[in-house]
Structure 1
Amino acid sequence: MYNLFKLIRLNNLVMIAITQYLVRFCIIAPILNIKGLSLQMSEFWFAMLVLATVLLAAGGYAINDYFDTKTDAINRPKRVLVGKKFTRQFAIKLHFTLSTIGSLLGIAASFYVGAWHYALIFPLVGGLLWFYSTTYKAQLLIGNIIIALMAAMVPLIVLMFEFARITKTILIVIQQNQINLNAIAYWVIGFSFFAFITTFIREVVKDMEDFEGDLETGRNTIPVAYGIKSAKVVAAICIVLEMVFIYYIYWRYLSVLPSGKLDWLSLVYITITLAIPFVVLLFRVVMASKVAHYKLASLLVKLIMLAGVFYTGVFYIVLNKVYQF
């Protein structure tokens, strides 16, 4: 069972579910509450949506390991599971089973919220993860961008489905009272953008870590195509841009609360858990010269992503302090 959990990356799946629930209850729900509204998607169907997302991701991890056996045998031989702990046939069947169930649940949730066209998302994601593992991962930038987009979809899909349900249930109330829900969209999209850039940085760092295996197996990653130094420049630019983005969002939307006071809680949290680690990451990436250095940088990116996710809790506290809902 332990090896199965490693194969489907249980820790990552848990974080996907936590992210979606935090977006629902710490961003969407409180802002709706401030507007005198409430969540319209039932808890059961939201759980089905989360499960659909998790199962598709799990299937993607399984098929990725299936096609990565040669590269992983070079880059991380101790972590190879397919062909050792599990047969290749088992990995294929697991992928199709998880992806099929995830797609069916997503399709059902789409019809529940009244947005049948959303049903196309889930089989498309399952197929895209398959082609990522077979083809796109070996192509310059395309694989990195696909994984970054998948990460961005995790919070974004919560917004899409809740708004679709709202449109079917209380749109008349919103229109009659001229209620503006743009703030919800802006915040969730902001988190999606953070997830996209941070995931892209991690993908570039992982490509530097996996340079030898990718070179030997013919993968055309940034380090292979343009060299390690160029990959470091790309990662460094993205890190700096993300720090600028984070502080811009703070000073534009959070620095001064309706009471006229400075939002110290957000400032301290952002500085300690995001800005300082990003500076450390920048230094680590620029100075890295061994595989172990890139592994440490990759771990640091994951911790930053985790901190970004849990800022939703800080956001909830700030809103509650201001509006006392």
Structure 2
Amino acid sequence: MKYLKLTRPINLLLIALVQVLIKYGLFEPFHAVTALSNFHFLLLVIATVCIAAGGNIINDVYDVDIDRINKPKKVIIGNGVSEKAGSTFYMVITALGVGIGFFLANSIGKPAFATLFIGIAALLYLYATYLKTMLLIGTFLVSILVSMSIIIVGFFDLVPVTNPINQASQWEVFKISLAYALFAFFLNFIRELVKDLQDIHGDKNGGKNTLPIAIGRSRATTVVFALGAITTLSIIAYMYMYLYAYTSAVLYFLFLVIAPLLFFCIKAFEAKKIKHYGLLSRLLKFVMLTGMCSMLLYPFVIL
């Protein structure tokens, strides 16, 4: 059970859910030409989840001293799972993900696509061992990698079967997935800043240079509030440009995306204590879920 907890299974389930929504809630309703059979798509999900799990594991291995300060009751490495066992688990599950990715890339006739899995695994290792100590670099990188879990579905499912005849229609569908990837990037970026605000004491002792450490908790909280407001306004603008004619979609976004984000902005403006930042983190995770689940609207509302 402790090995499973190391992988952060809830986060992995969210990644798998989003990829399923991209293929079956977005690509299929738009009748996009796709390359992956159900079996090959399952392999893509497994490969992505394995590599993400490996990133979570190696991050915990290298963060054990910081975690003993920030969340002592949740430390697993050294408390049921040794550092050596954790590192071995990381290598096995990451190798499994890369291996499945290599097989999948060759199965669809795009062997070069295997480098995506290798590159993502390497960047997750660099993040855990070095880049997360650099101001905003690690935050930016991990947010890019979260968005890549969405974009990679388009790379494997749309790109191999795109040709001059269907290029325009394929690109229109791919652009929508890019919009969701951008949404995921911004929400995750803000959430990483919120987590840095939560973990400021342990991060200082661990030698990390996060935004709250660099400019102070108060100023960093203001940045979180501003980014939350910008994200909210951007989604409202998107609704106005693309969804205003679809009442059900507008209501969905208003109540399940915009309203929680507005509540987030209010709470971010008031946040001062660690428990406040915990609430902000949970709110962003909720908005990430509801935002991604909006893809379920396409078969019934948009089209």
TM-score by length of 2: 0.96
CA displacement at 1:4 relative to structure 2:
2.0
Residue identity opposite 1:39 in structure 2: T
Q: Which moved more, 1:217-226 or 1:286-295?
A: 286-295
Q: Distance in 1 between matches of 2:243 and 2:264?
A: 25
Q: Which moved more, 1:12-21 or 1:235-244?
A: 235-244
Structure 2 CA distance for aligned equivalents of residues 137 and 38 of structure 1? 39
Matched, 1:43 2:26: no
CA–CA distance in 2 between the matches of 1:42 and 1:18? 17
Match of 1:278 in 2: 261
Aligned equivalents of 1:252, 1:22: Cα separation in 2 = 23
1:201 paired with 2:196, answer: no
CA deviation profile, 1:164-219 (whole Å, cap 9, x unmatched): 3313xxx37537xxx53222011100000000000001000000000111112211
1:249 equivalent in alignment to 2:238: yes
CA–CA separation in structure 2 for the residues paired with 1:94 and 1:314: 39
Aligned with residue 299 of structure 1, among 244, 266, 282: 282
Matched with 2:18 is: 19
Which whole-Å CA distance do the structure 2 matches of 1:136 and 1:29 have between them? 38
**CA contact under 8 A between 1:152 and 1:196: conserved in structure 2?**
yes
Aligned counterpart for 1:310 among listed residues 266, 272, 293: 293
Tell me the CA shift for residue 5 of structure 1.
2.0
| CA–CA separation in structure 2 for the residues paired with 1:78 and 1:214 | 17
| C-alpha distance in 2 between matches for 1:80 and 1:229 | 28
Q: CA deviation at 1:38?
A: 4.4
Do the aligned partners of 1:41 and 1:165 also contact (CA within 8 Å) in 2?
no
Q: TM-score, normalised by structure 1?
A: 0.90
SS state of the match for residue 30, structure 1?
coil
Which residue does the alignment assign to 1:57?
52
- 1:223 CA displacement: 0.2
Unaligned runs of 5+ in 2: none
Report the equivalent of 1:174: 166
The counterpart of 2:208, out of the listed 208, 219, 229, is 219
Q: Percent identity?
A: 30
Verify the 8 A CA contact 1:236 1:282 in the aligned structure 2.
yes
> Following superposition of structure 1 onto structure 2, how do residues 83-162 of structure 1 map, counting pairs within 5 Å?
83-162=78-157
Q: What SS does the corresponding residue of 1:114 show, helix, strand or coil?
A: coil
Q: What SS does the corresponding residue of 1:191 show, helix, strand or coil?
A: helix
Contact 2:33/2:158 (<8 A) preserved: no
| Contiguous gaps of at least 5 residues in structure 1 | 257-262
Could you tell me whether the CA contact under 8 Å between 1:232 and 1:286 is conserved in 2? yes
Matching residue of 1:259: none
Number of residues paired by the alignment?
A: 303
Q: RMSD over aligned Cα, in angstroms?
A: 1.4
The separation in 2 between residues aligned to 1:231 and 1:110, in whole angstroms, is: 42
For residues 271 and 252 of structure 2, the distance between their equivalents in structure 1, rounded to whole angstroms, comes to 27
Matched, 1:234 2:226: no
Q: Distance in 2 between matches of 1:146 and 1:173?
A: 35
| Matched residue type, 2:130 | T
Alignment of 1:259-274 (within 5 A): 263-274=246-257
- In 2, distance between residues paired with 1:292 and 1:270? 27
Q: Deviations over 1:98-141 (max 9, x none)?
A: 11110111122122222222111111111111110111111100
* Partner amino acid, structure 2, of 1:148: S
